[in-house]
Structure 1
C-alpha cells in the first residue's frame, strides 16, 4: 500500500470515529430551518440590557468587494432574525460593520479596533486567505473568536477560528477527481497570486500526479490585474483538456472575457472555477459562461424547502434580483451556529462560546452541517455544478454523505504543508500575497 493510500485509510478510520462523536455531541438541534423559528416562546429583548456587540469585517470596497459585499448582507440577515426572535440571553445583537478595503493591513487594524475598542464578542469576516491569515494571530492574542465563511486551502487550524467554509477535501479534491474521470487528465492551472491559489494548486498538482494526470501549465495574476495575455498564450501552447481557475474577485471579468475572445469556450476547453459563485457570475457575460463548471458546497439551486425559504428571505430583504452564493450561505449559518453556542454556554464570552460550539449542528440551507469537535471546521456536502446561461447553476454531482473536514490534505505531511506556506510568506516579504509588479 502506498503512503497516500495509507493516509486515505487512516483518514477514513478517523472520520468514522469523528462522525459518531460529532453526532453524540450535538447539544441543540433547531426545528428545521433556523430562519423560521417563531418568536413565540423566546425571551424578549430587555431595553435596559447591554447589547451583545459583534463585528462584521469584510471588504466593501476594492478588488474583492464584488464577492464580500453580499456576504455582509446575509450576515446581517441572520442577526436581524435573531433579534426578531428575542435576541440572545435577553440582549439584542448589535453588529459593528467595518470595511477591510481589500487590503490586509486594514483587516489587521480593524480587527484590533473591533476587539480592543469596540469590545466585540465575536467577528464574522474575511474572504481571502490573505486577510484571514493576517488577522488570526490577533484573535489568538486577544482570545477572541473569528467565524470564517469562505472555502479555503487548509493548512491551518486555530482554536480561535470557526471555519464554516469548505476544506480542500470538500470541494477541490472531489471536483478534480470528477474532471479527471469525465473530461480529461491534462490540466492547466491559473490563479490570483496569493496564498489560497498557490496552496490550492499544490493540492491539485499532488492529486493529479497520484491519479495519473498531468499539469501542463501554471500561471498567476496579481490581485486586481487584467494582464491575461501571457496566460492565454500559455493555454494555447499547452492545449489542456481542462482549465482549473482559482482567480478571485473582479479579475474574473477580464480573464473570462479574454478567454472567449481567444476562442476558448466551454465546448473547446471547459473551465472549472473554484472561486466563482452566483454573485460573481452576475458581473460576467453569463451567456458565454454556460457550460463551464464550479465546485462548492452550496448552490442557490439546491431544491429543498429549507433552501427555498432562505433564498426567498434574502430576496425579500435585498431585492428580487439578488442571488445567493456559497459564502453567503456559510456566513448566514455562521451567525446561527454562534447564536446556538451562546445559548448553550449561557454567555457570549468568546472562550465559552468556542468550547460550546464544538460538535454543534444545524439544518442550514445547504443541508445538515456540524462543527467538528476537534478542528472547528465544518462537516459539509461537496457539490459540482454546471453554469447556466442565466447565471444559475445546475448541480451535476453531490456527495451522498457529509464529508469530514481535513485542513491538512493527505498528499503531504502536516509539516510539509506548513513548510510550503512558510516559504511563500518568506518569499513574499512577510505578506500573504505576491508583491505588486
Structure 2
C-alpha cells in the first residue's frame, strides 16, 4: 500500500453516472477507480497516494466545463481523466487549455484534433472505422443504411464510411439521425424505412441509451442479425448487457478491445476487476482505455515526481504499457495511442467472437481526411480468425 507520509496526488475524474451516456460512463468510472486502486496497492506514486476527485456531469457538456474548472481551480488537480462524447471532451478542453491542465480521454472519436493539454487513448478513425468498413464490404455486403445520434462524431464516422462504400462500388440506401434524448417512439419510423429499403447491413453510430433503444426496436420489428446485421463502433459488452444479450447476438462491432480477447494480461486483469466489482461486471473498449491511461500517467508521475503538466506530458509521450488489449504506445508526435484494431460479432452469452484483428499495433492517424486503400497498404492488414 502507498504510505501517507507525504501529501497525496489528487486527480480529477469526470464520468457521468446519470444521463443518456451513463451506461458506458459508469464502466469508465469503475475502470478508472480500479486502476487507481491498483496504483495505490502497489506503492502509489513513490509512496504518495493517488486520490480521485469525482463529479457526475450528468451527460451534459455545460456541466463538464463547469466541473472541470472546479477541479482545476477549487480542488487543485492538474490531471483529469474523463469524457465520452466529443461534445463533452471539447467542453473540458476549453478548461484545461485555459488553466494548463491535462485531459486524458479514453474514448474513440472522430479525429482532427490536437491539444498540448490532452492525451488521446481511444481509437482514431484509422484504427476502427477503416477496419470495420473493409470487413463489411468484403464479407457482408455493399448496400449500407447509416444511422446514428445527431452530433459530430456519428456524422464524421458516417462521412468516412460513406467514402469507403462508394470507393468499393457500394451504395448507401438511406440515413437516419436522431437526437441523443430521442424517445423510443422516434425509432419506429426509422426502422420502418430500413424494412422498406432492405439494406445488406446497418452502420450504426448511436451513442448511449440510443444504442439500446435502436437495437431493441430492430428486434421488435422482426429484423434479424443473420440477414441484416448491425455494425457499430460503439456497441460494447455493457450495451449488450443493457439491451438484453438475445437482442445483441449476431451484430458486429469494431474496437481495440473486447473482454474476450484472451491473453494472460487481459485474463488476470478481468479476474481482478470482477473480484472487486462483482462477477456480473463486464469490460469493454472504453473501460480498457480508461484503465490503461491511469497506469500510463502513474508511470510518468513516478518518473517525474510531479504532476506539473509541462514536466509530466513529455514523460507520457512515447511511453508504453502492457494493456489488456496488448502493448500500447502513446505517440510522441500527435499524443494519440498505438492500438490493436479488432472486428467481432456478439455471441449469445453477451461476449464477442473476434473475427479479425491487426497483426501489430496501428499508429494513430487522427487527420484521416479521406480513405485511400492504395496509400494505406499494409496498415489495413487484418488477420481473420
TM over 0.5: yes
Distance in 2 separating the partners of 1:183 and 1:297: 21
Q: 1:125 pairs with 64, 74, 82, which one?
A: 82
Map 1:391-402; keep pairs closer than 5 Å: 391-402=350-361
1:188 aligns with 2:134: no
Map 1:340-419; keep pairs closer than 5 Å: 340-411=299-370
Distance in 2 separating the partners of 1:179 and 1:412: 15
Equivalent position SS for 1:283:
helix
| Distance apart, 1:300 and its partner CA | 0.3
| Distance apart, 1:412 and its partner CA | 7.8
| Distance apart, 1:237 and its partner CA | 2.7
| Distance apart, 1:389 and its partner CA | 1.0
- Does the aligned pair in 2 maintain the 1:159–1:375 contact within 8 Å? no
| Structure 1 residues 379 and 125: CA distance shift in structure 2, 3 A | same
- Does the aligned pair in 2 maintain the 1:224–1:249 contact within 8 Å? no
Equivalent position SS for 2:260:
coil
- Does the aligned pair in 1 maintain the 2:121–2:337 contact within 8 Å? yes
Map 1:116-265; keep pairs closer than 5 Å: 116-225=73-182, 226=184, 227-265=186-224
1:318 aligns with 2:277: yes
Deviation >4 Å, runs of 4+: none
Distance in 2 separating the partners of 1:342 and 1:301: 31
Deviation digits for residues 10-61 of structure 1 (CA, Å, limit 9, x no counterpart): xxxxxxxxxxxxxxxxxxxxxxxxxxxxx7xxxx5243x1110101101111
TM norm structure 1: 0.83
Matching residue of 1:99? 56
TM norm structure 2: 0.93
- Does the aligned pair in 2 maintain the 1:347–1:353 contact within 8 Å? yes
Q: 1:57 pairs with 14, 17, 24, which one?
A: 14
Aligned-residue CA RMSD (Å): 1.4
Matching residue of 2:3? 45
| Structure 1 residues 156 and 67: CA distance shift in structure 2, 3 A | same
Equivalent position SS for 1:234:
helix
- Does the aligned pair in 2 maintain the 1:52–1:121 contact within 8 Å? no
Distance in 1 separating the partners of 2:285 and 2:321: 16
Distance in 1 separating the partners of 2:87 and 2:308: 27
- How many positions carry a matched residue from both structures? 370
Deviation digits for residues 285-317 of structure 1 (CA, Å, limit 9, x no counterpart): 211321111110000001101100000011001
Distance in 1 separating the partners of 2:168 and 2:109: 22
Distance in 1 separating the partners of 2:115 and 2:171: 34
Structure ranking higher on relative contact order (CA contacts 8 Å, 6+ apart): 1
Distance in 2 separating the partners of 1:137 and 1:217: 36
